[in-house]
Structure 1
Amino acid sequence: LTQHAEKFEVVLVHITGNTTLAVQGPNARVAAMQAMGESRAKIADGLGVFFCAKVADWFIARTGYTGEDGFEITVPDADAGTFWQALIDAGVAPCGLGCRDTLRLEAGMNLYGADMDEKISPLEANMAWTVDLKDPDRDFIGRVATEKLKAAGVQQKLVGLVLNGKGVLRSHQKVIVPGIGEGEITSGTFSPTLKVGIAMARVPVNTGDTAKVEVRNKELDVSVIKPSFVRNGKQVF
């Protein structure tokens, strides 16, 4: 970022001294607003999805990485402990990155370093909707490479997999598409909401709606769907 920033009238500042807490779930907004105090809650209550507000030295965003409603709230370190306890008192249950990762996978949200990285084009990571190639005057890092890949034809795509039976799907397991080729699971888990193994996988672009996954030297049948399984606690496929 620093290297690229030199070409623009922008200064990057590494800000420290803050803590970010994500409060997610069907009752998250009510509990978080109860914990943050009346003045902040009034502003937070008016935020639409993907909107944010700076309230003094707090930053409140109605965003998340779980497929559920809620807030991501950045507070000064000095306020973090008190706010954490207020959330607990409001009925919020603490959870770690394992829970977060399961929820983001159920929601079909990519994890950098697994489902995408600097070597994977957005056209191959179910992220083409984030790239605007229509405006010829709109330049950005990676545009030339993206246009070349689009012109040549994308050879692989990111899909969702649902295991047709018992078991758990895991990263790096081989995906076999009979008569077409092979792919690989990029993220996999057991869905606590659906009670079934789910995964995201990069497979040949002409893969249909069925495939097989190699698990402990056995080929298990999976259904191939768009990479989204659960939103707001409900199945979406």
Structure 2
Amino acid sequence: MGLHTPMYDMHLALGAKMIDFHGWEMPLHYGSQVEEHHQVRNDCGVFDASHMSTTDITGPDAESLLLKVLSNNVTLLQKAGAGHYSAMLNEQGGVIDDLIVFRMDDGFRLINNAFTRDKVQPWLQQHAAGLDVTIRPRDDLAHFAVQGPNTIERLGSVLNSGRVQIIGGLQPYHGHCDGDWFLSRTGYTGEDGIEILLPASQAVDFFNELIGAGITPIGLGARDTLRLEAGFTLFGNDMDEHISPYSANMHHVVAMEPAEREFIGRSALEQQLAHGISEKLVGLVLEERGVLRHGQPVRIASVGEGTITSGSFSPTLGKAIALARVPVNTAERGEVEIRGRWFPVRIVRPRFVRHGKILI
């Protein structure tokens, strides 16, 4: 039997098709993945993200620990509630995990992938040796992502007046504690949205309130097509422990300044920069009928070869799209092998749809 979030029985009651997701039994969809995708793009939906890992790090040396183990510079988060995207790297510069880190009143909060916790928690403990820090996995919390252009309006009928005022004043990548709730303006869809962490004991009642307010439950299937359209990377597909952030369009999560900050993986990244980055992540659009999938070969005439890292049908574009790792000096056209045949693809910036607008 797989791991369950507090909403497991509700997912079943709502008719969800459940699948194994890295050891968790999670909803793929509740009837139509495509309809759920459009619901988020055009209105609002809620994802149960309680399988994700939340860790609070407190103590006098909390900042020192994160300056060492994260690629981004947490001193840039100067006020409580400020957050940014970051990565945890190994000594070779590969990505152990990607995550969001927030500065809290008494330390920091990390929100990272569900299936990396068995690596992340020991890694944090290992590098916390000798430091005055407390590392607390927050398995007592549930996590909802309410996403879509009408999120703020829809939540106005569910949250109390104080929390409505909080979410209305949040800037992107900022959060705010209200008692034992944490509300942040973050998400993984390319739309506006609010993520809510709350005690697991309150999760089922709150999920019921969201559904009762007409906020549609959304499964992992639409979550994947939404993030792919937005050009957001997925750990395990687009990057992993053998892939540099520089080869995964994650330059912005690496802070090389100040030069004296010796974070794990820095030396390897400096060597990569000195020798030149040879690969990059691009977007692909298949103009003909067909399906783009992880692992399919890509070739670019007179340039070289690459591989699709993530691919699917885009409900918004009505075409197959993908992210692919290719030579850095790639051209505007290429080919993808699908079932033994080569099909032409257009190579674009890896950002297809944001805030409801088609960008390619």
1:18 paired with 2:134, answer no
- Unaligned ranges ≥5, structure 2: 1-123
CA contact (8 A) 1:66 1:103 kept: yes
Q: TM-score, normalised by structure 1?
A: 0.96
Render the CA deviation track for 1:161-209: whole Å, top value 9, x for unaligned. Answer: 0112211211000001122221100000000001011000001111111
Shift in Å, 1:228: 0.5
Structure 1 residue aligned with 2:339, among 211, 216, 223? Answer: 216
The equivalent residue for 1:229 is: 352
**Rounded Cα–Cα distance in structure 2 between residues aligned with 1:116 and 1:56:** 36
User: Which deviates more, 4-13 or 40-49?
Assistant: 4-13
**How large is the Cα RMSD of the aligned pairs?**
1.2
Q: TM-score, normalised by structure 2?
A: 0.64
1:49 paired with 2:172, answer yes
User: Which deviates more, 140-149 or 11-20?
Assistant: 11-20
Q: Matches of residues 186-201 of structure 1 in structure 2 within 5 Å?
A: 186-201=309-324
Letter in 2 for 1:212: E
Higher RCO (C-alpha under 8 Å, 6+ residues apart): 2
Shift in Å, 1:129: 1.9
The equivalent residue for 1:158 is: 281
Letter in 2 for 1:190: F
The equivalent residue for 1:95 is: 218
Render the CA deviation track for 1:95-129: whole Å, top value 9, x for unaligned. Answer: 11111111011000010111011211111111112
CA contact (8 A) 1:123 1:154 kept: yes
1:121 paired with 2:244, answer yes
**Rounded Cα–Cα distance in structure 2 between residues aligned with 1:6 and 1:226:** 42
CA contact (8 A) 2:335 2:343 kept: yes
Render the CA deviation track for 1:12-56: whole Å, top value 9, x for unaligned. Answer: 111222110100011112112321222211212111111110101
Q: After TM superposition, what 4+ stretches of structure 1 lie above 6 angstroms from structure 2?
A: none
**Rounded Cα–Cα distance in structure 1 between residues aligned with 2:171 and 2:133:** 29
Structure 1 residue aligned with 2:186, among 44, 63, 75? Answer: 63
Shift in Å, 1:7: 5.2
Q: Matches of residues 103-182 of structure 1 in structure 2 within 5 Å?
A: 103-182=226-305
What's the secondary structure of 1:144's corresponding residue? helix
**Rounded Cα–Cα distance in structure 2 between residues aligned with 1:8 and 1:129:** 28
Render the CA deviation track for 1:52-81: whole Å, top value 9, x for unaligned. Answer: 101011110110011010101011112111
Letter in 2 for 1:93: T
What's the secondary structure of 1:35's corresponding residue? coil
The equivalent residue for 1:76 is: 199
CA pair 36-113 structure 1, distance change in 2 beyond 3 A: same
Render the CA deviation track for 1:128-183: whole Å, top value 9, x for unaligned. Answer: 12212243212211100000011011111111101122112110000011222211
Q: Percent identity?
A: 49
Letter in 2 for 1:187: S
